Amino acid sequence: MPGIGVISNRNARLNKLYPKLKDRMAFVVGRGGEVASTGSLDDAQQAIEEFKRVGIDMLAISGGDGTAHRTIELLIKTYGQDPLPPVLLLPTGTQNMVPGSFGIRDSGVATLLLAQARYRHNLPMRCLRRNVLKVNEHHSFMFGLGIGPRFLQEYYRRGKTTPAGAASLLWEYGVDAARGGVVARGLTATIGIRARLDDGAEIEMQPHSVFASFIEELSLRFKLFPRAGWDEKLFEVLIVEGHPALVVKALPFLWVGSIRPLQGIKRHMVRRLELVLDHPEPYTLDGEVYEPTDRLVISAGPELRFVVPGLRLRPADKHLRHDRVGPWELRFLV
C-alpha cells in the first residue's frame, strides 16, 4: 500500500523546539507510509521524487507556511503534467496561516493522527480545492508588496518570531501611526506602480501596499481575503492607498473578514495581475521575503486538493469548493 508520505522540515520552529516530533509522526504513520526528515530543498526534492515513484496516496507537509510553499513548488515541478496527490498540511511553523485558512487548528501530530486513522480504516476525507498563485517563477498562496515585506523584515530582524512577537510589533506600528510617527510613515511609503488587471487598460497608482491571495487569513487571523477560495482561478487583490490612520481604523473589519467597502482600500477579483514598479521593491510569498524586483506577473497556478481530516469543514461557507478523497482500497476493520 503506497500510504501517506510526510515531508518533515527539521528547520521549522516546532521541529527545532521538539526534535523528536518527527519520531512521533513516524510512529503515527507506522507501516502505512513514510516520514522524510528534510533539512534542505535538495532533501525535499529527493523525498518527493521517491514518493512519486511509489505512488503515495497523500502528501503531508510538517512545517510552517514557508515549508508548505517551497514543498508545493517542488511538488508541482516534480509531478509535471501528472495528477498531483492530495496535500495534508500539518501546522508546526510560526504562524500557520495556510492551514488556519483551511480550518486546521490542531497540532501537527493530532492532525496526522486523525488523518491516518481515517486512512487506515479506508474512510473518505473531505478536502478543499484551491489554486495557488504563480508569481513570476514561484508558486505560493499569498503575495504581499509594501507593508507586508517591510513588516516582516523588521519582525525577522528582531528575532522574536512568535505570534506574540508579531502582535507586539503590530501594536507598536499602530500606536505610531495613530500619532503620525515617522516609523509608520516609512512602513507605508508609497510605491509608483503601473498595473494591469486581467485584460484591462494600464492603470497608474501610488499605493503603499498590494496583496493577492488564494487563502483567507494572514498572521494573527486577519481575514483580509474572505472571497479567496470562492471561484476557480480567481484570486482576491487588495490595493491599499489610504493614510496610515485609515489602515488602523480598518483593522477590526479586516480581522473579522468583512467585505464592506473600506476607505483607502480597493478590492478586486482577478485572474491575472501585472505590476511594473518605478523602482525595485522586496516582496513576500507566504511569509518569506524575496529580493527586490521592479516587475511582477501574478496569475492563477494549478489547483490542488487540501485534505481537512476533521468530521466537517470549517464553519459553513457555501462558496467553498470541496470534494472528497478516498476510499483508497477495500480493507477490513479489525
Q: What is the mean pLDDT of residues 85-107?
A: 86
Q: Model confidence over 286-313: pLDDT tens digits?
A: 988 999 999 999 999 999 999 998 766 5
Of 40-44, 244-248, 250-254, the least confident:
244-248
pLDDT value of position 178 = 64
- Is residue 157 pLDDT above 60, yes or no? yes
Whether the model clears a pTM of 0.75, i.e. scores above it, the answer is yes
pLDDT value of position 221 = 79
- Is residue 48 pLDDT above 90, yes or no? yes
CA–CA dist 97, 44 (Å, integer): 21
| Cβ atoms of residues 215 and 225 within 8 Å | yes
pLDDT value of position 161 = 67
Top pLDDT among 243 and 250 is at 250
- Is residue 162 pLDDT above 70, yes or no? no
Q: What is the mean pLDDT of residues 238-263?
A: 84
Q: What is the mean pLDDT of the chain?
A: 86
Q: pLDDT-based confidence at 243, cuts 50/70/90? A: confident
Q: pLDDT-based confidence at 255, cuts 50/70/90? A: confident
- Is residue 181 pLDDT above 90, yes or no? no
CA–CA dist 156, 95 (Å, integer): 13
Burial class (CB within 10 angstroms; exposed 0-12, middle 13-18, buried 19+) of 42: exposed
Q: What is the mean pLDDT of residues 246-255?
A: 83
pLDDT value of position 331 = 47
- Is residue 172 pLDDT above 50, yes or no? yes
**Beta carbons within 8 Å of 278's beta carbon, 6+ residues apart:** 191, 192, 193, 294
Domains of the chain: 4-120 (3.40.50.10330), 138-301 (2.60.200.40)
Q: What is the mean pLDDT of residues 253-274?
A: 90
Burial class (CB within 10 angstroms; exposed 0-12, middle 13-18, buried 19+) of 14: buried
